[in-house]
Amino acid sequence: MSRLIALAVKERKVTILLSVLVILYGFYAYYYLPRQENPDTSSPAVQIITVYPGASAKTVEEQVTKKVEDEIAALDGVETIRSYSQDNVSIVIGMLTHTVDYDEQWDKLRVGLERLSPEMPDGAMPFDVDTDMTYSAGVIISLSSDTYDQSRLSQFAKEVKDELSGLDGVKRVEIEGEQIQRIEVTVNEASIYKLGISIEDIYNVIRAQNVVIPPGSINTPAGKINVAVPKSISSIGDVENLIVSISAETGAAVRLKDVAKVEFSYDEGSLYYLKDSRNAVLVTAQFDDDENVVLIGKEVRASIDRLKVKFPEGLIFEEVLFQPEDVANSVNDFIMNLLQGVLFVVLVIFIGMGFRNAIVVSVAIPLSLAMTFATMQFLSVDVQQVSISALIISLGILVDNAIVISDAIQVHINDGMNKVKASYLGAKEQSIPVLTSTLTTVAAFMPLMSLPGEAGEFIESLPLVVIVTLVASYVVAMLVTPSLASMALKERHVKHDILSVVSKFYTNLLENNLKRPLFSLFLVMLVLIGAIYTFITSVDMRLFPYVDKDIVYVNISNEIIGDIESTKELVLLAESILRDQPEITTLTSAVGGGLPRFYMTADFIMPSENNGQILAAFDLSKDTRFETRADFLYHLQSEFDRRFVGGYGTANLLEINMPGSTIEVRISGASDEELKAVAGPIYDYLLDRTETMNVQLREPGYRYSYLLDVDDDKAMQFGLSKYDIQFQINLALNGSKATVFTKDDQSYDIFVSSDVKSIEDISNLRIKSSWTGNKILLKQFADVDMKLELDTIKRYNRETVITVASDVRPQYGSTDIQMELQSFIEQLDTDHVKISYGGDTETMVKYLSGLAIAALFALVIIYVILLIQFNSLIQPFIIMSTVPLALIGIVFALFVTGTNFTFTVGLGAASLIGIVVNNGILLIEYINRARESGLMTIEACRDSVSRRMRPILLSTVTTIFGLVPLVFADSSFFSPMAIALIGGLIVATIMTLTVVPTIYYVLSKFEKEKVEIEF
């Protein structure tokens, strides 16, 4: 390194020119870096939906769900398997650990499902496999109207789709909630009963009259001429006039319209959307990966503006979600925070070091950032909230090395050395300590790149960008800073400034510590114990806070099973509750399922006639009732608990982590009755707690079903096969598509069903024998009764599960409740069931254990680095003593500001390990040199603190001021981290300048007793 330093200083003009070129290229790279709101993350989850028309929930579970679960269980690294079996559909969701290659496992799963397909029951549809569970729409547009019907709205939506599909950067455009028109033939069972025909006869007539079979061609002298037979159905009138029978009494033809109602209709059980209570069709667009969505958004916006001018006034065209705008605002806010941080850091340097030194040191900021941007481009790291936060965190740290080098050079210049020699010598002397401090900081951040789970992948770019910035800052400090110093610095003696006053305070504090070292260390230990006690008793924990978006979504579940009309009434009731809140601005609702995925961690809502979902935008500034989003959420949930009747309405804010309740207890491994016996008391316990809200007992739902008890012997005597019975009953109750006809380039399904509404109607169904052609009343060979059947069967890790869930009111923490709940459960008889915990408990175990391992790994690496530098077993421990003492500052900062302990606070605490030891490294290095020059230990401690206080204080203050904009950024994810870092840095600096020399002084006494602390 000394040769490179000498070359850089000697050829300083070339060094400066290269630096300018690097800055230009770096900011060129920044301009073209992709911009996104959040980092790209791979999906650890797979969702497999299998439609099995006509099957009950129990049948779906046995014949589909369990088999699919087995295929997922055969994969490597399976973490959880959840499944939902309900009438007609199976949904299985598998989650993998972060230790496996997701794509490899998904390929293995597809092969397994392909092998499984032949084993699926007749009538089951192909598997719908979705491995992109983190997908979310970039744009959602709603088209609604008070004048246009669904068919016209769909036509408008197709125009929007065609317009957006042609844009560069737009990967996929879909129309959601499109209500497909069809011709519905509802057969009157009483009428066909009199005629002696069955519903299958009508079904077959419609199919036969619209069949297309190529008739062939005729050979002529002119060549072959094809013969064409047109379809017989070209309008709804043709369907109505189909002859289905001949009256035995009159001999007249009986037409379809005589025995059935024929009309255009929509599928009443399908998912549809509302926009501010109006029927709506949604258009969603997804952007290409690794693209600048802000630039793409400008093209999308221009297309939208053209369409708005083109469309008629009666069409209401609204943007439900426009991610490019959110990304632009988010990135701009973070960039503004970054610029503010740069300004604060430069200001501190000017105040602390003077004009010339400040210029020399400040160059490290744009140059290090430029090198980082260029590296980000090479490593394909996007500009998003995590990477920008990493840059902000790095701001104060990246000038530390330049400050140390500049200060060392200034000392030599003040001693009368010429500037060129002083620049070389100052950089050379500090090259090893600065390298060590850089490596220790890198060592603290490096393990954070391998944190487990989705959150670990989400923040992966943070440690990566910090490490790149630190390495860049080291290169700048070693080569560019001495080059500039050799040209700009001159002799400078500081007499009185702010740092001089602060230095006097620290000097007095150190003197007191050195006079009574053991007593001082005892007091420090008491303070540390007090901080730990305060953390346990007074600091609330919420690992993953809400996202900084003014969006709330409400999941709705209907108590009435299978009635989409009553579900719509519940959705409208929920809308009215939301409209009563002055903060709510717009509403977009789904009936019969969920909305298109509007955020990567938004709840998945099963498509079901019982379910609904509402997405509501809000603005807290419209009223003064609530200070935080959490307060508003609590108020909304209270309103739903009080006013929502006939179902459940659960209000949610967006979260970084996968959605779920704060408290979750899963009971599995036994019969339904045994599970309920344990779940009931747990539910009552949580319901009685004043701290809880939105307490739910998620148990299987039941619905009434008709039970058909067929006498197989009688059926065979009548010539009826199982297929005859099952197909015709399914046709009558569920209906089936008979054929398709086309008009004006629009295809319409012809759907046949019956008007069966009671047990008596079912009993009087006429079943046609495929063997004899005879029609036999169902009641002649079968009994029909009503019974309760499971509506939805929920399973967890291949076992039936009941979940008790609850959220916690904003003013309370969940930790104490979790501990007391576990104590309560231990008193119950749970030997025959399995108890597992989800919610915050599961999250803490998953992520905090990962953080703890990363911190431990960092400590080991840092110790090894310090051991190599100082060739001592004890001195690394002296330096690292500031690590646990920094916890005092973290706890104090969290307690005073009322900030919860979050995942990023833990991240900040882990990263502090490398930051706080840097000052200790420089201080111990100076103490050792002072002792080698002949000073007594106590004098060496005093002299070293006096000499190193200015750069240590400057580096700390610059780091703190660099973080200040992040504190006030109103970022629920990163502001707590900045608060913790600032608190930890302040206390760690105090401890470095006072406690570290005291510990060194105490341990040095053992050397006099011939106890070796050196190799």
> What pLDDT digit, counting tens, does each position of 56-91 carry?
888 899 999 999 999 999 999 898 899 988 878 899
State mean pLDDT over 282-289.
88
State mean pLDDT over 442-460.
81
- Write down all domains in the chain, each with its CATH number in brackets: 1-26+354-492 (1.20.1640.10), 45-130 (3.30.70.1430), 494-538+840-1015 (1.20.1640.10), 551-602+609-702+798-839 (3.30.70.1430)
Residue 453 pLDDT exceeds 60 = yes
Reported as a single tens digit per residue, the pLDDT across 567-613 is 999 999 999 999 999 999 999 999 988 888 888 778 778 778 888 99
* Kind plus residue range of the DSSP H or E element containing 234: none
Computed over every residue of the chain, the mean pLDDT equals 84
State mean pLDDT over 316-339.
84
The whole-angstrom separation of Cα 387 and Cα 327 is: 13
State mean pLDDT over 729-734.
80
pLDDT band at residue 494 using 50, 70 and 90 as cut-offs: low
Residue 147 pLDDT exceeds 90 = no
- pLDDT at residue 587, rounded to an integer: 92
pLDDT band at residue 851 using 50, 70 and 90 as cut-offs: confident
State mean pLDDT over 463-481.
91
Tokens of 135: 């997908």
pLDDT band at residue 724 using 50, 70 and 90 as cut-offs: confident
- pLDDT at residue 1013, rounded to an integer: 41
Whole-Å CA distances, 862 to 257, 437, 921, 928: 86, 9, 11, 19
Tokens of 304: 């939208």
pLDDT band at residue 973 using 50, 70 and 90 as cut-offs: confident
The whole-angstrom separation of Cα 528 and Cα 827 is: 36
Least confident of 117-121, 368-372, 552-556, 786-790: 786-790
Residue 156's identity, in one-letter code, is F
Phi/psi at 128 (nearest 5 deg)? -105, 105
- Say what percent of the chain tops pLDDT 70: 95
The whole-angstrom separation of Cα 432 and Cα 422 is: 17
pTM over 0.95: no
- pLDDT at residue 496, rounded to an integer: 53
- pLDDT at residue 1008, rounded to an integer: 47
pLDDT band at residue 1012 using 50, 70 and 90 as cut-offs: very low
- pLDDT at residue 441, rounded to an integer: 86
Residue 761's identity, in one-letter code, is D
Q: Which residues pair with 708 in a beta bridge?
A: 784
Name the residue with tokens 């930790």: 815
* Kind plus residue range of the DSSP H or E element containing 813: none
Tokens of 924: 């111990």
The whole-angstrom separation of Cα 928 and Cα 944 is: 9
The whole-angstrom separation of Cα 962 and Cα 979 is: 12
- Say what percent of the chain tops pLDDT 90: 13
Alpha helices in 380-460 (DSSP H): 385-398, 400-414, 419-445, 453-458
The whole-angstrom separation of Cα 812 and Cα 126 is: 47
Reported as a single tens digit per residue, the pLDDT across 514-530 is 888 888 889 989 999 99
- pLDDT at residue 66, rounded to an integer: 92
**Nearest residue to 375 via CA among 470, 479, 443:** 470
- pLDDT at residue 178, rounded to an integer: 80
State mean pLDDT over 731-751.
79
pLDDT band at residue 398 using 50, 70 and 90 as cut-offs: confident
- pLDDT at residue 495, rounded to an integer: 55
8 A C-beta contact, residue 941 and residue 1000: yes
**Nearest residue to 459 via CA among 385, 519, 399, 516:** 385
The whole-angstrom separation of Cα 261 and Cα 512 is: 98
pLDDT band at residue 20 using 50, 70 and 90 as cut-offs: very high
Q: Calculate ∠ Cα 1006-1009-1014, nearest 5°.
A: 60
The whole-angstrom separation of Cα 225 and Cα 726 is: 45
- pLDDT at residue 593, rounded to an integer: 87
Residue 128's identity, in one-letter code, is D
Q: Calculate ∠ Cα 987-993-994, nearest 5°.
A: 85
Long-range contacts of the stretch 527-535 (C-beta < 8 A, 24+): 527/888, 528/884, 528/885, 528/887, 528/888, 531/887, 531/888, 531/891, 531/892, 532/887, 532/891, 534/891, 534/895, 535/887, 535/891, 535/894, 535/901
Give the CA count within 13 Å in the CB-facing half-sphere of 524. 25
Q: Calculate ∠ Cα 912-915-917, nearest 5°.
A: 105
- pLDDT at residue 375, rounded to an integer: 93
Contacts of 104 (CB under 8 A, 6+ apart): none
Our CA dihedral for 20, 21, 26, 27, rounded to 10 degrees, sits at 70
